[in-house]
Amino acid sequence: MMTVDEFRARFPILTRRVYVNSCSQGALSTDVDEAMRAYLESWHESGSPWEMWVDEVERLREWFAASIGAGADEIAVMPSASAGINAVASALSFDGPRSHVVIGDFEFPTMAQVWLAQERRGASIRRAHASGDVLPIDAYAAAIDERTLVVPATHVCFRNGHKTDIAGLVKVAHDRGAYVFLDDYQRTGSGPIDVHALGVDFMVTGCLKYLLAAAGIGFLYVRRDLIERFEPTVTGWFGRVNPFAFRIDALDWPPGANRFETGTPPVPNAYAALAALDLLDRIGYDVVGRQVDHLVERYASAARDAGFVVRTPSDRARRGPLVVVQSVDAPALVAKLAARGIIASCRGNGLRVSFHAYNNDADVDAVISALVAEASLLERATATAR
């Protein structure tokens, strides 16, 4: 197994910058760099080796499935998480007794917007409201009933780092006959996950963040016993039994989740994703999870001790790899940190700092030191709040 230090050495940017922005884009490894060059070389050398390229996509399907405890037949390789959500939404009917979609306050815009777009098809949107920076399962329970069809839910909120109790949500939803559609994009790759153990019905994620590859490739998981119930109307030639049969007279549906795929697969990004998944396997998701949890605790505790307003829950079970500290002008603070060699991001006035296994204690301490130096751009906690 690869050590944390060996893993860190695969990311050249860390010799020049403190990189704590995996919530927006994972750092580039030498492995992914080499894989992208290998794809270009195959194009230079062979011109159009489509059989080989499609084989690489199939290899990626199998590799990703194993990484989340799923079967390869339960995975669709998509150009984005949005494409996966749309494919499932298009396969659902809202004209029966179940037409409600329960959406929490912490969703990423795409997840909310796709379901809002289903209102013209008969969907009725219901809300699970947060209490400040916490979204308890009770809020979902108050909105889910016998009319609920599906509950889309983010695992980790992109705005404040809150981690939803997905296992608890699954129990509530399933007890009332509703599906759970997990958005794991802001968490996948930052620790282990087993979708079968969680019991979710659908899941989307992508490679841009903690899976350490590139934009333009994502995954849709569909629970095996559900797959053949659905025929998406958002479809394409790679959603067929044999895309290269080139049929234009009829639709046929493969028995696996690849029925949710649409057009030509994102081959260059598949090369990048394979290299990233191999790298993550070599360090191990358990190791990644422990390192991320350690760094999050070190940073969140230090930020609170410094008197800053930390919006991410202090409960380890209710937070992911992302910590948000409240600023009075977060874009200006991000720029100030960049000038100090620290790459972070913001949403609204929340400064987002996120960790991967390539980060270390020195990175945490560098960020805290910079925040202390730029304290005029941060909100201060009251004595009572602290």
Question: Is the Cβ–Cβ distance between 263 and 236 less than 8 Å?
Answer: yes
Helix, strand, coil % (nearest 5) of the chain?
A: 45, 15, 40
Q: What b/e sequence results for 125-161 when a residue is b if at least 16 CB atoms lie within 10 Å of its CB, and e otherwise?
A: ebebebeebebbbebbbebbeebbbbbbbbbbbbbbb
Q: Are residues 227 and 299 in the same domain?
A: no
Q: Provide the CATH number for the domain around residue 368.
A: 3.90.1150.10
Q: Are residues 234 and 341 in the same domain?
A: no
Question: Is the Cβ–Cβ distance between 19 and 11 less than 8 Å?
Answer: yes
pTM of the model: 0.96
Task: Confirm whether 248 is domain-assigned.
Answer: yes
pLDDT at res. 126: 98
Per-residue pLDDT tens digits for 91-135: 999 999 999 999 999 999 999 999 999 999 999 999 999 999 999
pLDDT at res. 149: 98
User: In the listed set 258, 280, 302, which residue is the last one of a domain according to the structure?
Assistant: 280
pLDDT at res. 385: 52
pLDDT at res. 384: 43
**Residue located via tokens 């860190």:** 8
Task: Confirm whether 383 is domain-assigned.
Answer: no
In one-letter notation, the amino acid at residue 271 is Y
* Nearest CA-CA partner of 372 in 305, 311, 315, 314: 305
- From residue 68, give the alpha-carbon distance in Å to each of 57, 82, 247, 249, 282: 17, 19, 34, 37, 15
Number of residues assigned to the chain: 386
* Nearest CA-CA partner of 276 in 177, 210, 373: 210
Confidence of residue 382 (pLDDT cuts 50, 70, 90): confident
List the domain range (segments joined by +) for residue 352.
4-28+284-377
How many domains, in total, are found in the chain?
2
Q: Provide the CATH number for the domain around residue 174.
A: 3.40.640.10
pLDDT at res. 219: 98
Task: Confirm whether 249 is domain-assigned.
Answer: yes
If DSSP codes are grouped into helix, strand and coil, which group holds residue 176?
coil
Per-residue pLDDT tens digits for 333-346: 999 999 999 999 99
Task: Confirm whether 385 is domain-assigned.
Answer: no
Q: Are residues 142 and 170 in the same domain?
A: yes
Residue 71 pLDDT > 80: yes
